[in-house]
Amino acid sequence: MMLYLSLPVTMFWISNQAEYFEEYIVKRKREIFPPDEKMHRKELEYFKERMRDRKERQLLKRMALNEAEKE
Q: Say if residue 2's pLDDT is above 90.
A: no
Of these ranges, 19-23, 33-37, 58-62, the one predicted with the greatest mean pLDDT is 58-62
Q: What is the pLDDT of residue 9?
A: 92
Q: Which residues of 1-32 are buried (b: 16+ CB within 10 A; e: fewer)?
A: eeeeeeeeeeeeeeeeeeeeeeeeeeeeeeee
Q: Place 6 in a pLDDT band, splitting at 50, 70 and 90.
A: very high
